[in-house]
Structure 1
Amino acid sequence: MLILETVVRIRREHADGKSIKAIARDLRVSRKVIRKAIRAPEAGFAYRRSVQPLPRIGPFQERLDTLLTENEARPRRERLRMTRIHDLLLREGFDGSYDAVRRYAKRWLDDRRKDAGDGAAAFIPLMFRPGEAYQFDWSHEDVEIAGKPMRVKVAHMRLCASRAVFVRAYPRETQEMVFDAHARAFAFFGGVPTRGIYDNMKTAVTTVFTGKERVFNRRFLIMADHYMIEPTACSPAAGWEKGQVEHQVQTIRGRFFQPRLRFASLEELNGWLEAECRRWAALHPHPDQRELTIAEAWDAERPSLQVMLAPFDGFHETPHAVTGTCLISFDRNRYSVMAKAARRAVQVRAYADRIVVRLDDEVIAEHPRFFGRDRMILDPWHYLPVLAKKPGALRNGAPFQDWDLPPALARLRRKLGTGDEADRRFVRVLSAVLTDGLEAVEAAIREALAAGAASDDVILNILARRREPPRPLTIATSEALALSHPPTADCARYDLLRGARAAA
């Protein structure tokens, strides 16, 4: 194939009167090519194949057309990959390459679109007013936490007007994580837009109807009402309806998460991500207002946002039964609760970072949330009423192994020593926490140890003395003993008692 410079030279020399034979001899090009270059309009000289030979696919063309037609009719998630279609042809005797099948499939699809009158996908540019809307989406990214590989679920939120971004990583993609991501994003942005744009994620949408009609999740609607947000769901498989956050997912993956991030904990990772979001806003210009950075456009949009009075109480509540060992099973782990809830039904409120267990309206346990499995998270204080009745469990009870006691109690236990009698005496002091409180018991222990008396009787005596109300301290004086109404001397009163005889 001739390069453009050669074609231009041929046309110029021919225009100057040089013969085709002479040009062909000088350039060592056939006269047929010379004539074609001269006849080409505007030096346009390109080879176009009018007929595409199919030496390998030819005998299998009808079968391949059938496979492609059937594959096109399948739902998107069930469609066969082109490598699978090539494998099916190989099983039927086809000996051609995968590239031949791929190229044929591309031409086949282009021809179908032309026949249907479908051109290239076209879209309308969107414009949003300051404070009008945000877009939300999830992505899955690979990181390394505490030296171990981990796939985290990353929440992405983007203000549509200023293009400010917020990114936070979570171990799960559950509803309580959605609530936490919204609370933290609105606090980061400094306010709340009036409309949120989502895909049809199950944590937000319960039922998808034709068009834009949706049935949203009840708790999700309560969150939207709390922040005064109008939720909007995109059409299924129509990512362009929230194209800003879709583009953000790809950009953040390449700019933030590659190469693979390594941090000691998720909290450290999220602190770094928040700082990177601010840095991104400060360094990059606004795509529509090139004279402004994203941070400057964000500052201009902030007064248009709604004020967030308080974060939403974003929990996911489920009922659970407490075992006889004062444990509940939640998310493949076991957590302890207060002993009074044994063998009763409780409600577990799961937050993004903790769980709260309630019995009716009383909180009976609160633990940091653990996202592994087969872990037992115990609070020794939950078992104190049971320990008061069974002091022998102090030695081998699972909640009391490696118990990190308060300083005063730890000193007392060392003073009392080891053995069954020492454990019994120590449990007597521990039991006083149920009635007097931890601070009062620690103060009594410190007083007893300062006096050199490491005895449970002395400590309990100090607590009892402090519980009695103090007697008033008064000094008896003559003025204080003076009568308010001094008696009057009157002997005639005795005659009245004697009656008529006294008068005679």
Structure 2
Amino acid sequence: MDLYRKVRLACAEGMSQREAARHFNISRDSVAKMMAFSVPPGYRRTAPVKRPKLDGFTGIIDGWLEGDRAVHRKQRHTAKRVFERLRDEHGFSGGYTIVKDYMRERERRGREMFVPLAHPPGHAQADFGEAVVVIGGVEQKAHFFVLDLPHSDACFMRAYPAATAEAWVDGHVHAFAFFGKVPVSVLYDNDRCLVAKILPDGTRQRATLFSGFLSHYVFHDRYGRPGKGNDKGNVEGLVGYSRRNFMVPVPRFASWDAFNAYLEEQCRRRQADVLRGQSETIGQRLARDLAAMADLPAAPFDACDQATGRVSSQALVRYKTNDYSVPVAYGHRDVWIRGYVDAVVIGCGGEVIARHPRCYDREDMVFDPVHYLPLIERKINALDQAAPLAAWDLPPEFATLRRLMEARMTKAGRREYVQVLRLLETFDIDDLHAAVKTALHLGAVGFDAVKHLVLCRVEKRPPKLDLDVYPYLPQAHVGTTSAASYMSLLSGDVA
């Protein structure tokens, strides 16, 4: 810069450019440039770079790179690999640098440009993200639903074991309940849980469950271009923000409900933030979003996948590769199935006959031991080998009751023990456990005694056992006192 000033000053005082070049020991072209520009203009290319050795091969390179679009990004051509193939397969005699420069320039020209968007109030975007969590002591992958309101940047998150269709719908149901309103529209990608098929004219054929959900809440669904996540850039960014800020370090919770309660609290706390470029908090801008949104319907949507099945000879119904038990009385009958994110409900006709926690493993069996007790009572020799009872963790008093019953009546005692277990068809485990402990304390080891005691506990009345039913119990005989004996005491005589 100092040389620029000196040359320009000398020429301004009457020195010619030729004299200035000689005086400052620089070229006349440099002097001319210094007189044309007050500061160094930097390097300026006025004509495209000529690559005579590469020009005949650019079509080949373009073909390879276009073909890379159809393969995994980690197996696409690098500049080094393109150079090697040109040299080995096509006799290219140029250097690696011109190949690398051409590929860099080609990539720059192909980069997409974007238009800044304005988001009116009342509209939303939705997506799923993934993160590693520890639930109940087990490390696993969580799929978390995110709904974003771009106008206010308010959000809602909820985590699930899998990103199924029912998880998509359940996430919306909880999000709408969280905000207390229904958005005017929601923008999605083309997830197969939502879109069954994209028709040739670009319209979407919606999945069955999602279509019913849209009909219930009556809002517009919009979709981005396939493979273009930037079409819903707000929620895409929120997925990353949530993972970095709410799930670092790795979240550890006792249950999914506890984890989701934590995520919901983070969403509420975030509403107090003022984001870059804004003068209002998220909560203040959320008020405009809510004013533009619709009211909730009278009842929430039943977010479940519906299917039908048939009960097998082992009292099992298959749903999503897993088998769930039903009472043996419904064997070989047609049933309906409702798959919720956390439960599987099975019914026959208008009656619910079984309810199980949802299993996300594959080819597993989910038993309720109570379902098999009527069959085991008839086939008592299967008691110790019944798979549904193998992992049944009963209180130790039940084992004591069985031992005493078998010691007294052997096989009949085992059958009576199963009858005691069948009381779980009517009563809960806590009440039956208390009745068994009381029966053991009283020495009343029998089905009738336990049934009587559990009924008294449920009905909140004191137990009164009829000991005539239990002739093997020790009995105490108390003589009846005559009323005349009391009369003699009153008169002073001794009876």
Give the counterpart letter for 1:384 in structure 2: L
SS in structure 1 opposite 2:187?
A: strand
**Out of 199, 204, 220, which is 2:194 matched to?**
204
Counterpart in the other structure of 1:104:
102
Q: What is the rounded CA distance, in whole Å, between the counterparts of 1:145 and 1:14 in structure 2? A: 79
Partner Cα distance (1:218, 1:172) in 2: 19
Letter in 2 for 1:427: V
Is the CA contact 1:191–1:306 (under 8 Å) kept in the aligned structure 2?
Answer: yes
Look up the match of 1:81: 76
Structure 1 residues 104-157: Cα deviation after superposition (integer angstroms, max 9, x where no partner): 02434667x7xxxxx97352633313xx32111223345566777644333221
Q: TM-score, normalised by structure 2?
A: 0.74
- 2:488 corresponds to which residue? none
Q: Within 2, Cα distance between the matches of 1:223 and 1:74?
A: 39
Q: Which residue of 1 aligns with 2:469?
A: none
Q: Please report how far the alpha carbon of residue 436 of structure 1 lies from its aligned counterpart in structure 2 after TM superposition.
A: 8.6
Partner of 2:34: 38
Aligned twin of 1:160: 150
Contact 2:21 2:31 in 1 (8 A): no
Q: Is 1:301–2:289 an aligned residue pair?
A: yes
The aligned counterpart of 1:481 is none
Change beyond 3 A, Cα 1:21–1:273: farther
Further displaced range: 194-203 or 340-349: 340-349
Give how far 1:269 is off: 4.0
CA distance in 2, matches of 1:407, 1:182: 45
- Give the Cα separation in 1 of the matches to 2:304 and 2:20: 84
Could you give the per-residue CA deviations for residues 314-357 of structure 1, whole angstroms, max 9, x where no partner exists? 11123334332223343443332221233334333221122112
- Provide Cα deviations, 1:182-224, integer angstroms capped at 9, x if missing partner: 1121122222113222222222222323566332223212111
2: CA distance, partners of 1:262 / 1:161: 29
Equivalent residue letter for 1:456: F
1:244 paired residue number: 234
Q: Which residue of 2 aligns with 1:291?
A: 279
Q: Distance in 2 between matches of 1:249 and 1:457?
A: 60
What does residue range 187-266 of structure 1 map to in structure 2 within 5 Å?
A: 187-209=177-199, 213-257=203-247, 261-264=250-253
Question: Given the superposition, is the C-alpha separation of residues 402 and 194 from structure 1 closer, same or farther in structure 2, using an over 3 Å criterion?
Answer: same
Question: 2:444 aligns to what?
Answer: 453
Aligned-partner residue type, residue 274 of structure 2? H
1:127 aligns with 2:119: yes
Give the distance between the partners of 2:241 and 2:5, measured in 1 at CA.
Answer: 44
Q: Deviations over 1:439-460 (max 9, x none)?
A: 9977875664464322335556
**Are 2:7 and 2:20, in contact at CA under 8 Å, matched by a contact in 1?**
yes
Match in the other structure for 2:347: 358
Q: Does residue 52 of the first structure (1) align with residue 49 of the second (2)?
A: yes
Counterpart residue identity of residue 119, structure 2? M
CA change 1:464–1:109 in 2 (3 A) is: closer
Secondary structure of 1:282's aligned partner: coil
Give 1:81's aligned amino acid: R
Give 1:280 shift. 2.7
Task: Give the direction of change, closer, same or farther, for the CA distance of 1:77–1:402 in structure 2 (3 Å limit).
Answer: closer
Distance across 2 between alignment mates of 1:297 and 1:51: 50
Q: 8 Å contact 2:17–2:32 — kept in the other structure?
A: no
Deviation at 1:13, TM superposition (A): 5.3
Deviation at 1:60, TM superposition (A): 4.8
Instruction: Choose 8-17 or 217-226, whichever is displaced more.
Output: 8-17
**Helix, strand or coil for the counterpart of 1:202?**
coil
Structure-1-length-normalised TM-score: 0.73
Q: Which amino acid aligns with 2:60?
A: T
Give the letter aligned to residue 293 of structure 1: T
**Corresponding letter in the other structure for 2:39:** A
Distance change (3 Å), C-alpha of 1:154 and 1:64 = farther
Per the alignment, residue 330 of structure 1 pairs with 319
User: 1:61/1:165 Cα in 2 relative to 1: closer, same or farther (>3 Å)?
Assistant: same
Equivalent residue of 1:392, what SS?
A: helix
Distance (whole Å) between structure 2 residues aligned to residue 232 and residue 139 of structure 1: 19
Partner of 1:492: none
- What is the CA–CA distance in structure 2 between the aligned matches of 1:300 and 1:246, rounded to whole Å? 23
Deviation for aligned residue 1:75: 6.1
1:62 paired with 2:56, answer yes
> Contact conserved, 1:10 with 1:37, CA < 8 A, in 2?
no
Determine the C-alpha separation between the residues in 2 that align with 1:148 and 1:74. Answer: 39
The total of aligned residue pairs comes to 449
Give yes or no for contact 1:286–1:297 (8 Å, CA) kept in 2: no
**Aligned pairs for 1:7-18 within 5 A:** 7-8=4-5, 10-12=7-9, 14-15=11-12
SS of 1:396 mapped into structure 2:
coil
Per the alignment, residue 478 of structure 2 pairs with none
> What is the DSSP-based 3-state SS (H/G/I as helix, E as strand, rest coil) of the residue aligned with 1:158?
strand
Tell me the secondary structure at the aligned position of residue 299 of structure 2: coil
Pick from 421, 424, 427: which aligns with 1:430? 421
Alpha-carbon contact 2:370-2:422 (below 8 Å) kept? no
Q: Tell me, yes or no, if the aligned pair for 1:212 and 1:235 is still in contact at 8 Å.
A: no
**Bigger mean CA deviation after superposition, 453-462 or 169-178:** 453-462
For residues 270-302 of structure 1, what are the alpha-carbon distances to aligned partners after superposition, in whole Å with 9 as ceiling and x for unaligned?
343333323333223375xx2211022224533
2:254 and 2:378 map into 1 onto residues whose CA distance is: 41
CA shift at 1:384, angstroms? Answer: 1.3
Structure-1 residue corresponding to 2:483: none
- Greater C-alpha Rg: 1
Q: How far apart are 1:21 and its partner, in Å? A: 8.9
Deviation, structure 1 residue 404: 3.3
| SS of residue matched to 2:118 | coil
Question: Which residue identity does 2:445 align to in structure 1?
Answer: A
Once the two structures are aligned, what percentage of the paired residues are identical? 29
Residue 480 of structure 1 corresponds to none
Decide whether aligned partners of structure 1 residues 9 and 452 sit closer, same or farther in structure 2, where only a CA change above 3 A counts: farther
Matches within 5 A, 1:412-427: 412-413=401-402, 415-416=404-405, 420=411, 422-427=413-418
| Residues 124 and 186, structure 2, Cα contact 8 Å, conserved in 1 | yes
Check whether the contact 2:18–2:28 (CA below 8 A) recurs between aligned residues.
Answer: no
| Alpha-carbon shift at residue 313 of structure 1 (Å) | 0.8
CA contact (8 A) 2:137 2:254 kept: no
Cα distance in 2 for partners of 1:242, 1:23 equals 61
